[in-house]
Amino acid sequence: MNNPQPRLIQTYLPDGTLEGIRVIELSDSSIKAFVIPRLQLKNAKVREELLRPSIYFLVSSSDSLGYIGESENFFHRVKNHDQNKQFWDVAIAIVSTTNSLEKSDVKYLESLAVERAQSGSMTIENKTVPIRNNVHEFKLHILQKILDDTQLILTSLGYDILSSPDIKEDVWYCKSKKTEARAQFRGDKFVVLQGSIIDKSHSPSWATKWSKSLAEREEIFEKYGRDLGDTVELTENVAFKSPNHAGGFATGHNINAWVTWKDESGQTMDEVMRKG
């Protein structure tokens, strides 16, 4: 993916609306994706492709949560998830256009995907990386290509659940009082990285003007933080919609992201991205 070539993504709307199931195909690819809103699950059973082996993703758009799985029969598996998993609102099933994926293939893809998702900007419900099963060496390149194509489709949908190992984003640093935060751009999100130290204190004026941000900050501390007394250490990556949003969280006051976030050499975002 170092020298990307032009690709064509095509979307088919079986019922003619954006609220229904979408079928997505990518040029020069052996896969297609079915994007299925949870409320439309009953309409998925008529698609014969969804009774085949697949790797699939359950996502919650509002909470930036995801889950990765594999199945020999996606429709039967997702009906179980509809009863037992509450967080998701959209399912994306990846199937072969030639019906060539086997059970061992999708199990291998699941392991690759969960491993890659650990550095994506979405929090995944999978707690461990599945054991990598053996597949024929002739298939390794094909399966890697399938995962890269899957990532491209997911990112085009706004779900940055997978992160390409070939793309290394710059790290940005925010240091203020006791805060030592690190972050990266990932897809359309700005992600504060696991291990960042966040000062618990905040300015009264910020809390008054941005009460929702303060509530969000405290919720993140509770869910993804390890209490160190005056500070909190993030135990997972946390995605924000912008560097300003992330900077407010990191510092507890209103900030100008262009001068608050700096690269490893100490240059501000303004100097690197606008003036550089």
Indicate whether 105 and 200 sit together in one domain. no
Examine residue 1 and state whether it is found in any structural domain, yes or no: no
- pLDDT number for residue 1: 42
b/e burial code for range 37-71 (CB count within 10 A of at least 16 → b): beebbeebeebebbbbbbbbbbbbeeebbbbbbbb
Bridge partners of 246, per DSSP, are none
Q: How many domains does the chain have?
A: 2
Indicate whether 122 and 235 sit together in one domain. no
- Of 103, 125, 156, the residue that ends a domain is 156
Indicate whether 186 and 118 sit together in one domain. no
Instruction: Give the separation between CA 115 and CA 125, rounded to whole angstroms.
Output: 12
Indicate whether 56 and 183 sit together in one domain. no
Indicate whether 73 and 34 sit together in one domain. yes
Structural domain span for residue 256: 172-275
**Residue 157's CB: how many other CB atoms inside 10 A?**
20
Examine residue 4 and state whether it is found in any structural domain, yes or no: no
Largest distance between two CA atoms of the chain: 61
- Of 109, 126, 156, the residue that ends a domain is 156
Examine residue 166 and state whether it is found in any structural domain, yes or no: no
Residue that the structure tokens 């510092």 belong to: 251
Instruction: Give the separation between CA 102 and CA 118, rounded to whole angstroms.
Output: 25
Residues lower than pLDDT 50 in the chain: 1-2, 166
Sheet holding 54-60, edge to edge: 9-12, 22-26, 31-37, 90-96, 54-60, 65-71, 123-124
Examine residue 81 and state whether it is found in any structural domain, yes or no: yes
Indicate whether 124 and 184 sit together in one domain. no
- Whole-number Cα distances in Å, 186 to 51, 93, 147, 190, 218: 33, 23, 17, 6, 23
Indicate whether 20 and 146 sit together in one domain. yes
Indicate whether 121 and 17 sit together in one domain. yes
Instruction: Give the separation between CA 144 and CA 160, rounded to whole angstroms.
Output: 18
Instruction: Give the separation between CA 93 and CA 91, rounded to whole angstroms.
Output: 6
- pLDDT number for residue 276: 61
Instruction: Give the separation between CA 221 and CA 241, rounded to whole angstroms.
Output: 18
Indicate whether 151 and 181 sit together in one domain. no
Examine residue 164 and state whether it is found in any structural domain, yes or no: no
Examine residue 26 and state whether it is found in any structural domain, yes or no: yes
**29-55 tens-digit pLDDT:** 999 999 999 999 989 888 999 999 999
Residue that the structure tokens 């960042």 belong to: 196
Indicate whether 45 and 72 sit together in one domain. yes
- pTM score of the predicted model: 0.66
Examine residue 161 and state whether it is found in any structural domain, yes or no: no
Indicate whether 194 and 267 sit together in one domain. yes
Examine residue 16 and state whether it is found in any structural domain, yes or no: yes
Indicate whether 15 and 149 sit together in one domain. yes
In terms of Cβ atoms closer than 10 Å to its own Cβ (0-12, 13-18, 19+), residue 94 is: buried
